[in-house]
Amino acid sequence: MQNRKFDLLSLGEILLRLSPPDNERIVRGNLLEKQIGGAEANVAAGVSLMGLKTGVISKLPDNGLGLFAGNELRFLGVDDEYLVYDTEKDSRLGIYFYEKGAAPRKSGVIYDRRNSSIAGICLEDFDENMYKSTACFHTSGITMALGKQCRETAIEMMKRFKENGTLISFDVNFRLNLWSGEEAKKCIESILPYVDIFFCSEDTARLTFGKEGTVYDIMKAFAREYPISAIASTQRTVHSPKMHSFTSVIYDAKEDRFYEEKAYKNIEVVDRIGSGDAYVAGVLYGLLCPNGNCEKALKYGNACSAVKNTIPGDLPSLNRKEIEGIIADHETVGYHSEMNR
Amino acid sequence: MQNRKFDLLSLGEILLRLSPPDNERIVRGNLLEKQIGGAEANVAAGVSLMGLKTGVISKLPDNGLGLFAGNELRFLGVDDEYLVYDTEKDSRLGIYFYEKGAAPRKSGVIYDRRNSSIAGICLEDFDENMYKSTACFHTSGITMALGKQCRETAIEMMKRFKENGTLISFDVNFRLNLWSGEEAKKCIESILPYVDIFFCSEDTARLTFGKEGTVYDIMKAFAREYPISAIASTQRTVHSPKMHSFTSVIYDAKEDRFYEEKAYKNIEVVDRIGSGDAYVAGVLYGLLCPNGNCEKALKYGNACSAVKNTIPGDLPSLNRKEIEGIIADHETVGYHSEMNR
Amino acid sequence: MQNRKFDLLSLGEILLRLSPPDNERIVRGNLLEKQIGGAEANVAAGVSLMGLKTGVISKLPDNGLGLFAGNELRFLGVDDEYLVYDTEKDSRLGIYFYEKGAAPRKSGVIYDRRNSSIAGICLEDFDENMYKSTACFHTSGITMALGKQCRETAIEMMKRFKENGTLISFDVNFRLNLWSGEEAKKCIESILPYVDIFFCSEDTARLTFGKEGTVYDIMKAFAREYPISAIASTQRTVHSPKMHSFTSVIYDAKEDRFYEEKAYKNIEVVDRIGSGDAYVAGVLYGLLCPNGNCEKALKYGNACSAVKNTIPGDLPSLNRKEIEGIIADHETVGYHSEMNR
Amino acid sequence: MQNRKFDLLSLGEILLRLSPPDNERIVRGNLLEKQIGGAEANVAAGVSLMGLKTGVISKLPDNGLGLFAGNELRFLGVDDEYLVYDTEKDSRLGIYFYEKGAAPRKSGVIYDRRNSSIAGICLEDFDENMYKSTACFHTSGITMALGKQCRETAIEMMKRFKENGTLISFDVNFRLNLWSGEEAKKCIESILPYVDIFFCSEDTARLTFGKEGTVYDIMKAFAREYPISAIASTQRTVHSPKMHSFTSVIYDAKEDRFYEEKAYKNIEVVDRIGSGDAYVAGVLYGLLCPNGNCEKALKYGNACSAVKNTIPGDLPSLNRKEIEGIIADHETVGYHSEMNR
Amino acid sequence: MQNRKFDLLSLGEILLRLSPPDNERIVRGNLLEKQIGGAEANVAAGVSLMGLKTGVISKLPDNGLGLFAGNELRFLGVDDEYLVYDTEKDSRLGIYFYEKGAAPRKSGVIYDRRNSSIAGICLEDFDENMYKSTACFHTSGITMALGKQCRETAIEMMKRFKENGTLISFDVNFRLNLWSGEEAKKCIESILPYVDIFFCSEDTARLTFGKEGTVYDIMKAFAREYPISAIASTQRTVHSPKMHSFTSVIYDAKEDRFYEEKAYKNIEVVDRIGSGDAYVAGVLYGLLCPNGNCEKALKYGNACSAVKNTIPGDLPSLNRKEIEGIIADHETVGYHSEMNR
Amino acid sequence: MQNRKFDLLSLGEILLRLSPPDNERIVRGNLLEKQIGGAEANVAAGVSLMGLKTGVISKLPDNGLGLFAGNELRFLGVDDEYLVYDTEKDSRLGIYFYEKGAAPRKSGVIYDRRNSSIAGICLEDFDENMYKSTACFHTSGITMALGKQCRETAIEMMKRFKENGTLISFDVNFRLNLWSGEEAKKCIESILPYVDIFFCSEDTARLTFGKEGTVYDIMKAFAREYPISAIASTQRTVHSPKMHSFTSVIYDAKEDRFYEEKAYKNIEVVDRIGSGDAYVAGVLYGLLCPNGNCEKALKYGNACSAVKNTIPGDLPSLNRKEIEGIIADHETVGYHSEMNR
């Protein structure tokens, strides 16, 4: 599929993220930092920054904020061909307000994303060529949880991409404030037959899908029930809002083999939001890049996620050379240079 | 009514205002200034800063943003007894994004105020004592335009306040993006029989209410048809986004007399938003203060509005001593001190 | 005393705090953050944020800075009925400049608080009803150290509140730069007969009051000598300017029982100033809330202090729901959610 | 040429612009605003924002600053296909420092653009298809003045584009600090035989090219000597650094007709830099858009330039709808709405 | 006096100036800009920036703020040899809070300068060599008004400098908030016998010194009564807080000749504070520079003052080359370049 | 040499340092912090802040940026007598862009220092008296690596200072991006015969100079080969970009004695750049102060470096009293006060 226009298209909501500077609280203060985020857009941005061709499928209000969102994605090299603009009178960009924590105060989020333009996304907004334009299609459970029309569109798109030989990637990304565990389980089980690359945390596997045993048992169980070729599960340890460790496990179903590496320890967390999406981006890059495989997926995924934690905002800011340097350092014992210069 | 707890209660939506610093555009940039506004809250704040006791009747989401709104009003001395908090899952604070213009580029607004908590305000949210607690009740056409439930609540409140001997103040504040001229006309004509103090711009009187003749003819026409005691109409000249002139006319229906004064010229506009509400605040202060009358209303109204133009944000920042100094300067010919020190 | 207007009135100086952003030094740079603080005002603000009715008794200059101080307290829900304004020509707000440290550089303070308006506070500034309006009165050794007139006023107020059946709370808050240990000892021992709730650090008890033995011996000694019902002593471990641990001991004299709990470890300190006052606020809330007792005092006190360390500025920003979540997390072993959303 | 990939490709240096905020001076202060500019990139950005497909041909250092420049252009919708990256060890992005004036203090610029990556641009950096990919090619005298290699590359590109049926646009943009008037004259006269659309200020025409007579005489003289089809000349009146008026004259050589309109008066200048480039962008849009002609060029050019003056930074931020609203207002006598909402 | 170490020493208080950014008010907001000012220090800084050797005689607290003040003066090239540091426990730097106005709101100042370290300045703080080290000594009425000790020290210094053949410069700088007109008159008349260069506004001459007639009559009257060689009087027209015009008259007593020039019109005022001191600096530079005379004094004085209005803060930021460019532009009819590049 | 004007003159390039605020990346964002740095200037500033008289020998462009650099050094008390200004047309200040890291992302630097004014520095720029004006002369390998003319000037200056009885201090400061290890070795070995005080890291001694054995062996080897009296080597442990430990070894060749002390642990790193230069400054202060010796050098060196890590920017901000407090704390077991107040 080298000759397709895109390596990756992702489908999902793009949100306006507003957050007080430093450790200020939402309930006080006079400034907000204005950024763009959204699980699937974060993934496309990460893969784009690593060097592949990506785009986002989404619907934005036809106003300055919608354009800002599209512009920010283009800034990161994400193509805007499949961003459609909603000219309805009350069209709006979903918003979330994010407040950074410090132990023992947790970070906090206020969502204000109902009735945003993405809720009205439909198949008619896009032409049929889209389904043949990409090597991989990615979306997440958040998109499924944004209302009936959005879910039906997403599922139908997934099917059409699949029919056109596209790899399907899906991240469960369970959000209790958007839907219940039961709703999630029912919906996601209905689409797993189409999924090739599956991201699911151990907690969600247990609590939402009722899986049991070790993380290895869980992964194998999914692979037995559905024709998934790769399953990835992150393993984050939150020492405090400002200090995490991170690694992951990837299961290659065809090879029946697990890939693991030692954790990135003592990550100095600047902004944790989007580090899960950066993981997905790294994994997809590792699979979709020339000679991609699960081992690369693991290394790129872990490194991208570790680095994202040090970057303010949802969206990653990184490049392949930097990530490969981080991987090399991670694998090296002994002298590390202190600075890139 | 000296013995009532409040001199003024106003009813209306409190919005989160987000605006880029300086002359930056909404479609770019990484910071937004976070402020609170809303026509009726602006009025209550202005009257409070002039020295009377005021409160706002409104409904806010029970989250950090709703609390921020309430806190900011308390900062200005506005009582929060009648701010009720909406604990519904998707309760939200209405938002508007404001971009400052510079000639020939106009200022611009993006509204995102649908489905905010105020839309669900109802009589049951407040106890009956409220209707006996204030000398004056103020609301505006914006409140009427925020949906059926909000409108019905507002009209019923107006009636109950009136029954309890409260002065009723109403500002037409026509916003074409909220309702049509026809809807506005029908609704407002139905409530004018309850109104004592009426604010209506000359343009709106002509275009929406179909009045004709001079501004004096128009005012007299309203006073003939309805039992209004004072009618006020602002007269703003916009030389450019950064330079305005401002004055107004007030008609005292009982005395059948018009009050006017020379315009404040060459106002160096820092932020025009809320200057109309500051006018209403000044007028109400002039009427409600000890020995209040239409002449004071005119002077305080014009000065408050002129000063508000020089203050960033929707909400005024002023005090009675300052306003009286501005009025004295406005009326003085000759030497003016250059600085307050 | 449910029917009193206030749950808590505190008496003390309100200061303007000016501090360079981030880790900038006072001797350089072009910006200062402008905030309000003061031990007793911080306490009133904390108790107010937890949901009780509080006010501050203080004297402020009648200028923009004095008003700013009053406004900021109202922002936090603190009543301004007993803030009196000083119209003397050279009236001033006390100021302190605060520079944040980073190991091994300590934080530093420059005080500029002499001759501030509070120094002239007198009984005649307040009417007699004040003494019957609150369930609890709080002040601290800082107020005693601000000069003869301020001290005499504070002591006389304490007596009048006591006569009216008010609980008296006192925090030693020893500051060597304001008075000597000897002066402090003599003054405080003269007022301890009126004190019900007493806050004294172990170090101060030893160095200033000459107490000996364990912290338990010290507390019992105070309770033997004076009719104090509750004594609280904080236990802070400063690992570095950016990392503290915190807990405390409270002695219930009537029950002759000590309350303790495990420390909050690895607090990520954003701003340590005011965390002692937040402790006092939490303890007073725990005692004054419905069904209050020393156990609640301990839990709320420790949690409020731990959280305050993560908040920029002197004044706390917190609420009861958040604090109860922090307490629940502190007491839970095992899975903690990473974020509030 | 509807079927070409681009409507416009421009060739030129992209600079990092660093400027103190507000009216701060370069010789003081601790912050610089970081933006991107450059005459030809500004033109491409303006045409892109108006809705046509554009790209920039340039050479950037292969580091974070070079990528930033490319990202900012993509943010504005400009394609980066012909941005090539210079991996030489000392490759650098040209910089200029800009200080905003206020009467009687002029704005000031410090250039630090020598030895930047563009100086090494050569034909081999680009493939031959480029010359067939655009309807119009634009560059300016600045590019000619950046050194021998850059000039020769530019001239050769101009010829190849011309050979492929591309419209050639050229803006004299004379900068005395880059080359002498004589050098400029000699170089530009050698390329005028290839130019279709020519931008030259009246002053430069007189001082550098030795033209005489009225502005109309000058334009006709150029058109007589060279096969230029459209000549445009701006007419700016600088009342003060913060207040300008602006209009222009366009000569349609084929029709032998001059296009003029009344000036935009009292432009509230926020940032004058780039307003000449925005003029070129508006003119090119007016010529290249469907049914384009010199009348449209005049209107779009003047409006784009007027609006750019109100936008911070070199790069424009505007859109076609807004510009058409500005034009409509400019042509309307009487009532103008004060705000876009 | 070419061989003296300094061209100018000035004596006066150095203040910390704190002002809200943009048009924010003192009563609100969370940031203050931190700068240094003071009439006599502003003068020394201006003369230093023009290229002469200057120092300030003052007393500062021995803390970070005092050092900041000294550092800022050194930044501008002012020597700190005669800055002495006050190690008293409560030593403090005087402060003033400044709020920028916008018509019709005036700028405002809150002074907090009582009991600052300068109040204790005495002859013993400086060694005798100081009196032989400078060609000119400057101070102002503000220094005289800062208390008995400060005044006596200032007068005695003036005498000692005079005895050593130093030119004495004095600016009345009347501040009603520091002393009464009567006090000022009595004090200043007692020192005028020592003054060579005298700055006095027409208003002050009339109101405080009881002079009558035209500005020329007034100047001649001073020159008749006292052995003053040059008298300067500024003429500022305040169109609004953001727009002034400025010129001045200088009387050369020996030549009995008045120097005047046309006003700088439409000065775009960024910060008016210190523009009077910049005038004094320009005049002193014009007199003290090689071949100095009253004509140069007039030109440099007017230009320095005009430019200072465009600079944020009290202290000037300018240089001789820039000022001479401004003068040249001021004197030129016709084409002016728009920008320095 | 008490009677020399300077205690220290250092020779080196002064750079403009531009860095994104907080953890923002160079490739994004709209603001840069503007500071001054440069290894040798940092050393002079540190020694000046500790209380000795210092100056910097350098060449700066004659524009606002060059003046800014000189002003910032004067701000820190560094004399500008030997800063010469380059009036060539394309004179420029070298720049470096610095991005702060967070584990596992390293800090990064982009240099843009080629062709800066220092490259043209020559003996003729300075008069002969300079060589007799200072007790100590310091430069570093960076100056040697800035090109042939700069190197030759530096070596010749070193010789002339030496001839005049000046102590010569030299810091290897090896930068691979400026020259190769071989070039460095050859050049530095040629100047070591003139060096009295030598700073060389263990890594550089091994990799560049081919030294072997323990750090003690290495130091002795240098002392055997060259007439160096003191050799210092830092020992930094980088736990993460935000957490370092630091100590050093100093070898007194005459006494044949090593000085060492326990490390400063858990330094909370705010800005690591310049901490090596602060070490040199502390060592030189310890040697050059009254009764200076290697033991003082060690203590001051380690403390200055530890503190510099907590200060934003290249340049130190500290004073002798503070450093001595840090040393006392470092040497004390048991109770440390938490704050300086």
3-state class percentages of chain B: helix first, strand second, coil last, to nearest 5: 40, 25, 35
**Is there a cis peptide before residue D104, judged by omega within 30 degrees of 0?**
yes
Angstrom distance (rounded) from CA F126 to CA C111 = 46
Predicted TM-score (pTM) of the model is: 0.95
Chains that touch E (3 or more CB pairs under 8 A): A, B, C, D, F
Q: What is the mean pLDDT of chain C?
A: 96
- For chain A, the average pLDDT equals 96
Share of chain C above pLDDT 70, in %: 99
Q: Are B54 and A78 in contact (CB under 8 A)?
A: no
Question: Which positions in chain B have a beta carbon within 8 angstroms of at least one beta carbon in chain F?
Answer: 29-30
pLDDT (average), residues D127-154: 97
| Percent of chain D with pLDDT strictly greater than 70 | 99
Q: What is the pLDDT of residues E299-319, one digit of tens each?
A: 999 999 999 999 999 999 999
Mean per-residue pLDDT, E95-120? 95
Measuring CA to CA, which residue among A34, A46, B192, F25 is closest to residue D34? Answer: F25
DSSP tag of E79: B
Q: pLDDT band at residue F2, thresholds of 50, 70 and 90?
A: low
Which residue of chain E is at minimal alpha-carbon distance from F317?
E64
- Rounded average pLDDT over D188-212: 96
Q: Which residues contact B243 (CB under 8 A, 6 or more apart)?
A: B266, B267, B268, B269
Amino acid at position C335, single letter: Y
Beta-carbon neighbour count of residue E192 at 10 Å?
A: 17
Q: Are D74 and A74 in contact (CB under 8 A)?
A: yes
Which residues, including other chains, have CB under 8 Å from residue C310's CB and lie 6 or more apart? A23, A101, A102, A103, A104, A105, C267, C268, C269, C270, C271
In this predicted model, what pLDDT tens digit does every residue of E181-224 receive, in sequence order?
999 999 999 999 999 999 999 999 999 999 999 999 999 999 99
Residues F77, E75: C-beta atoms closer than 8 Å: no
Give per-residue pLDDT as tens, C165-194: 999 999 999 999 899 999 999 999 999 999
Q: CA B71, B77, B82: angle at the middle one, nearest 5?
A: 65
Name the minimum distance, in Å, from the CA of A157 to any CA of chain B.
Answer: 28
Would the pLDDT of D201 be above 90?
yes
Residue length of chain F: 341
Assess whether pLDDT exceeds 70 at residue B2: no
CB-CB under 8 Å, B27 with A71:
yes
Confidence at residue D149, expressed as pLDDT on a 0 to 100 scale: 97
Q: Is the pLDDT of residue B1 over 60?
A: no
Size (chain C), residues: 341
Q: Which of A245, E32, B28, A173 is nearest to C34 (CA)?
A: E32
Residue D334 has pLDDT above 80, yes or no: no
Residues 6+ apart with CB under 8 A from F266: C103, C239, C240, F243, F245
- In angstroms, how far is CA B36 from the centroid of its own chain? 14
Chain F hits for C145, Cβ within 8 Å? none
Q: For E274, left (φ over 0), alpha (ψ -120 to 50), or beta? A: left
Is the confidence at residue D285, as pLDDT, over 60? yes
Task: Please choose, from the candidates F32, F52, F26, the residue with its C-alpha nearest in 3D space to the C-alpha of residue F313.
Answer: F32
CA–CA dist D275, D246 (Å, integer): 10
Q: pLDDT (tens digit, 9 = 90+) per residue, F93-134?
A: 999 999 999 999 999 999 999 999 999 999 999 999 999 999
- Interface probe with F: pick from B24, B28, B30, B32, most Cβ of F within 10 Å: B30
| Alpha carbon distance F149, F123 (integer Å) | 10
Question: Is the pLDDT at E337 greater than 90, yes or no?
Answer: no
Mutate which of D23, D24, D30, D31 to disrupt the C interface (most C C-beta within 10 Å)?
D30
Which residues of A fall within a CB distance of 8 Å from D77?
71, 74
So what's the pLDDT on residue F97?
97
Strand D83-86 to D167-171 pairing: unpaired
- The shortest CB-CB distance from B240 to any of D268, D306, D312 is to D268
Q: Please report, for residues A139, A310, E106, F13, the alpha-carbon distance to residue F83 in angstroms, rounded to integers and kept in the order given.
A: 61, 40, 44, 10
Residue A1 has pLDDT above 70, yes or no: no
Rounded to an integer, what is the distance from CA C174 to the centroid of its chain? 12
How far apart CA D307 and CA D323 sit, in angstroms, is 8
For the cut 90, the answer to whether the pLDDT of residue B241 exceeds it is: no
- C-alpha F100/C-alpha F18 separation (Å) is 11
pLDDT at residue B187 greater than cutoff 90: yes
- Rounded to whole angstroms, the Cα distance separating B63 from B93 reads 9
Task: With H, G, I as helix, E, B as strand and everything else as coil, classify residue A229.
Answer: coil
Tell me phi and psi for residue F214, to 5 degrees: -75, 170
Nearest CA in chain E to B340: E108
- Residues of C in CB contact (< 8 Å) with D are 29-30
Q: What's the pLDDT at A333?
A: 78
CB D246 within 8 A of CB D303: no
Distance from CA of F76 to the nearest CA of E (A): 7
pLDDT at F318: 95
Q: What is the pLDDT of residue F1?
A: 57
pLDDT in tens, B189-200: 999 999 999 999
| pLDDT 10s digits, F168-226 | 999 999 999 899 999 999 999 999 999 999 999 999 999 999 999 999 999 999 999 99
**pLDDT grade, residue C305 (50/70/90)?**
very high
Cβ distance C74 to B74 less than 8 Å, yes or no, reads: yes
pLDDT band at C333 (very low <50, low <70, confident <90, very high): confident
Contact D71 A75 (CB under 8 A): yes
Q: Are D139 and D178 in contact (CB under 8 A)?
A: no
Report the amino acid identity of residue C18.
Answer: L
CB pair distance less than 8 Å for D108 and E340: yes
- In single-letter form, the type of residue at position D73 comes to L
How far apart are the CA of F276 and the nearest CA of chain E, in angstroms?
A: 24
Q: Are E139 and E168 in contact (CB under 8 A)?
A: no
Q: Are A22 and A31 in contact (CB under 8 A)?
A: no
Confidence tier at C1 by pLDDT (50, 70, 90): low
CB contact under 8 A, D310 and B104: yes
- What's the CA gap between E290 and E43, in Å, rounded? 19
Task: Please list every residue in chain E whose beta carbon sits closer than 8 Å to the beta carbon of residue F67.
Answer: 319
Burial B176-212 (b: 16+ CB within 10 A, else e): eebbeeeebbebbeebbebbbbbbbbbebbeebbebe
The answer on pLDDT for F335 being more than 70 is no
> How many other β-carbons are positioned within 10 Å of the β-carbon of residue F232?
28
CA distances from F39 to A220, E112, F171 (A): 58, 41, 9
pLDDT average, residue stretch B71-90: 96
Run of H or E residues at E280 = helix E275-288
Which of A67, A77, A319 is the closest to D74 by Cβ? Answer: A77
Percent of chain E with pLDDT over 70: 99
Are E230 and E250 in contact, with CB atoms under 8 Å apart? yes
Q: Do D29 and C29 touch (CB under 8 A)?
A: no
Name every residue in D having a CB less than 8 A away from some CB of F: 18, 25-35, 63-65, 67-68, 71, 89-90, 92-93, 95, 97, 99, 108, 110, 112, 114-115, 177
Cβ contacts from C onto D, under 8 A? 3
Model pLDDT, residue D2: 60
Integer angstrom CA distances of residue A274 from A34, B207, C186, F30: 15, 51, 59, 22
d(CA A312, CA A305): 13
CB E277 within 8 A of CB E289: no
**Chain A residues within 8 A of E30 when measuring between CB atoms:** 29-30
3-state secondary structure of E185: helix
Rounded Cα distance, F229 and F252, in Å: 6
At position E124, the amino acid (one-letter code) is: E
Helix axis angle for B64-75 and B39-50, nearest 10°, is: 30
